[in-house]
Chains A and B, each alone.
Chain A
Amino acid sequence: DAGVTQSPTHLIKTRGQQVTLRCSPKSGHDTVSWYQQALGQGPQFIFQYYEEEERQRGNFPDRFSGHQFPNYSSELNVNALLLGDSALYLCASSLGTTQFFGPGTRLTVL
């Protein structure tokens, strides 16, 4: 079992651009959650997808959107990037209550 995988590992964008991050859940997991972790901070919940629908959303603007595919993989899209969007983006998958985290995507906005 490969566990939770995320791509790309690192990404550099400029302000105003758009970015798409990808996550493949652990085998058999049907729920994907996304978190943003700024430097020196704990992860902050962005949203969660279950059965291809957004089930819960944290306090993030509409510039942050997502999608879940029939195979349970997920994408996180961020539009109109700001410098403050620079962070480690973590994906977590679950079947039930325990979440398993991927290695993250490091996004740098210049």
Chain B
Amino acid sequence: KQEVTQIPAALSVPEGENLVLNCSFTDSAIYNLQWFRQDPGKGLTSLLLIQSSQREQTSGRLNASLDKSSGRSTLYIAASQPGDSATYLCAVKTNQAGTALIFGKGTTLSVSS
């Protein structure tokens, strides 16, 4: 059974700092991995999607990497800003036909000015 773990559960940093959020999964047979942002009490916004054949994806100050063999992904946020404060969720999709996403519990990020 696929399980997704995110470490740390919470993180507080000063504005301008570069940071890394970690995601691990137990079964390396994934179809893709996705990082989401969730503001308090709100829905999910997709940040980056990495297909199983890819190693990384970049969007602006965000860079996500994927190492399937070790069951790990990282989300790198450069030059953090107070507006980056949110919960970041990692989710894996295990196969193409079954499109259910399996989520971690998330990392809650607080960036202080």
Q: Which residues of A contact B (CB under 8 A)?
A: 4, 31, 33, 35, 40-45, 48, 56, 58, 88, 90, 92, 94, 97-104, 106
Segment at the interface with A among B56-64, B65-73, B78-86, B96-104: B96-104
Cβ–Cβ contact A43 & B44, under 8 A = yes
Interface of A is mostly: strand
Q: Is B101 a contact partner of A99 (Cβ separation < 8 A)?
A: yes
A and B contact pairs by CB, cutoff 8 A, 23 listed? A31-B99, A33-B99, A33-B100, A41-B105, A42-B4, A42-B91, A42-B105, A43-B101, A43-B103, A44-B103, A45-B100, A45-B102, A48-B100, A56-B98, A90-B43, A97-B96, A97-B99, A99-B101, A100-B46, A101-B36, A101-B44, A101-B46, A104-B42
Size of interface on B: residues with Cβ below 8 Å to A: 24
